[in-house]
Amino acid sequence: MLLDQATAEQLKALESELTAEYNAILGKNLSLDVTRGKPSAEQLSLSDAMDGILDGSYKAGDGTDTRNYGGIDGIAEAKQLGSDLMEVPTANIVVGGNSSLTLMHQTMMTAYHFGLTGADSAWKNIDTPKVICPVPGYDRHYTVCEQLGIEMVTVPMTASGPDMDAVEALINADESIRGMWCVPKYSNPTGVVYSDETVERIAKLGQIAHKDFRVFWDNAYAVHDLIDNPPQLASVFELTTKHGTENSVLQFASTSKITFAGAGVAFTAASSENLAGLKKFLGACTIGPDKVNQLRHAKFLPSREALMSHMKKHAQLLQPRFDAVLSALSKAFDGSDLGSWETPVGGYFVSFDTRPGCAKATVKLAAEAGVKLTPAGATFPYGNDPEDRNIRIAPSVPSIEEVVGAMEVFVVCVKLASVRQALAA
């Protein structure tokens, strides 16, 4: 149905039909949650064999006793895992603790306060350093900037990644742009994989941007494919080498959604200059990361093949949930003017754009009907979605039946919010 072509009478009839449907849902007393993108208990159990895997052998290959202090870089075996995951040479990898978000926060803090390449390079040396945020995007990236007092400027996400014309125009026009957030594969929340052209243009930004400009390449979903022949992300590492812009990109990843979300291993990959700057900061925070956990991860995932076959088990659990979301959206909205969405083949999210001005109302209706969605606006800096359109759906934790149930409610709420808004217009 096309709302734009409906008469007032048709809209009124539709509203009472949908209100009846919605009231019937209210009677079911549902309690469903499709908010945060975390692994389900079943997914976590795929890695239970890590428990006890060391069997009393705590020595790394080079003889390091992983139980002791030290090793700010991470052990060699864990660097190999990072290299298998990020497809970057081990020499360019630092292995951290359990969270890539922590590494991103620490890296941005280093860039801001201390400078990644010495005090002269600190972003705080200028009044208002700014970071480009493709929107919709990941709320926790915004929180890092907010906490450090870094201004965020938005650019739209497209089906091939950030709008690169807008990114280049901003950098050319504003000397104070110092950084950019990117989730290049199965982007949070749109599920988009950056095209080869986009990756190459990002790799070349170092040629036009200020020398202290850094891309924060958060490859959280590097191996999180749902299909057999997944899209390939171009190597930003190789492209920055090709264009002589090695210092302009720092990459991040972790095993949070590979093994245990709360007890994984996180990685940074970057040029030796950037790593030196980061390690100086890290060395002031800790005598060394949890190398026992690094070693168990390396034993559990000893090669790229082992990693990829482990990820296939995750895909088997996730794929039916994504199918449930996508088929509900297709069935309800194909050929309508009620919303638009991408069809991700990996990652943790499906993101839905309502008609302008309908996201908050949809989320509210769903909450009142017992279906918790991520708050509207969360996918934009300062919680402000200027068009009030974007809603992020995270189907990994609920059972397939629960996802189906949540989507039945979601669809009715989108329709009702849209019709009510059209009537009020």
Q: Which of residues 168-187 bind ligand PMP (CB under 6 A)?
A: 183
E-strand ranges in 290-395 read: 339-341, 350-354, 371-373, 390-393
254 is an interface residue for ligand PMP by CB under 6 A:
yes
Cβ proximity to ligand PMP: between 204 and 392 the closer is: 392
Around 316, how many Cα atoms within 13 Å sit in the side-chain half-sphere?
Answer: 9
Q: Which of residues 37-96 bind ligand PMP (CB under 6 A)?
A: 37
Q: Rounded CA gap, 345 and 358, in Å?
A: 26
388 is an interface residue for ligand PMP by CB under 6 A:
no
User: In what helix (H) or strand (E) does residue 167 lie, and over which residues does it extend?
Assistant: helix 164-173
Q: Which stretch binds ligand PMP (CB under 6 A): 14-22, 98-106, 292-300, 364-372?
A: 98-106
* Nearest approach, Cβ of residue 291 and ligand PMP (Å): 18
Burial class (CB in 10 A: 0-12, 13-18, 19+), 294: buried
100 is an interface residue for ligand PMP by CB under 6 A:
yes
Cβ proximity to ligand PMP: between 67 and 140 the closer is: 140
Buried b (16+ CB within 10 A) or exposed e, 137-154: bbbebbebbeebebebbb
* Nearest approach, Cβ of residue 361 and ligand PMP (Å): 26
The residues, any chain, with a CB within 8 Å of residue 122's CB and separated by 6 or more, are 111, 112, 113, 114, 115
Cβ proximity to ligand PMP: between 18 and 101 the closer is: 101
* Nearest approach, Cβ of residue 26 and ligand PMP (Å): 31
101 is an interface residue for ligand PMP by CB under 6 A:
yes
Q: Which stretch binds ligand PMP (CB under 6 A): 57-65, 72-80, 111-119, 254-262?
A: 254-262
E-strand ranges in 233-349 read: 249-254, 266-269, 339-341
Among the listed residues 14, 108, 116, 220, the single contact to ligand PMP using CB under 6 A: 220
Cβ proximity to ligand PMP: between 22 and 138 the closer is: 138
Buried b (16+ CB within 10 A) or exposed e, 357-381: ebbbbbbebbeebbbbbbbbbbbbb
Among the listed residues 83, 90, 247, 256, the single contact to ligand PMP using CB under 6 A: 256
Q: Which stretch binds ligand PMP (CB under 6 A): 63-71, 97-105, 233-241, 275-283?
A: 97-105
The residues, any chain, with a CB within 8 Å of residue 218's CB and separated by 6 or more, are 100, 104, 138, 141, 181, 182, 183, 184, 252, 253
The residues, any chain, with a CB within 8 Å of residue 290's CB and separated by 6 or more, are 97, 98
108 is an interface residue for ligand PMP by CB under 6 A:
no
Among the listed residues 139, 218, 225, 402, the single contact to ligand PMP using CB under 6 A: 218
**In the beta sheet, which residues pair with residue 133?**
154
Q: Number of residues in contact with ligand PMP, rule: CB under 6 A?
A: 13
* Nearest approach, Cβ of residue 402 and ligand PMP (Å): 20
Cβ proximity to ligand PMP: between 25 and 101 the closer is: 101
What's the token pair of residue 378?
């969360």
266 is an interface residue for ligand PMP by CB under 6 A:
yes
* Nearest approach, Cβ of residue 101 and ligand PMP (Å): 3
188 is an interface residue for ligand PMP by CB under 6 A:
yes
Cβ proximity to ligand PMP: between 80 and 256 the closer is: 256
The residues, any chain, with a CB within 8 Å of residue 215's CB and separated by 6 or more, are 179, 180, 182, 202, 205, 236, 248, 249, 250
Contact 42, 61 (CB under 8 A): no
In the complex, which residues of this chain contact ligand PMP (CB under 6 A)? 37, 99-101, 138, 183, 188, 218, 220, 254, 256, 261, 266
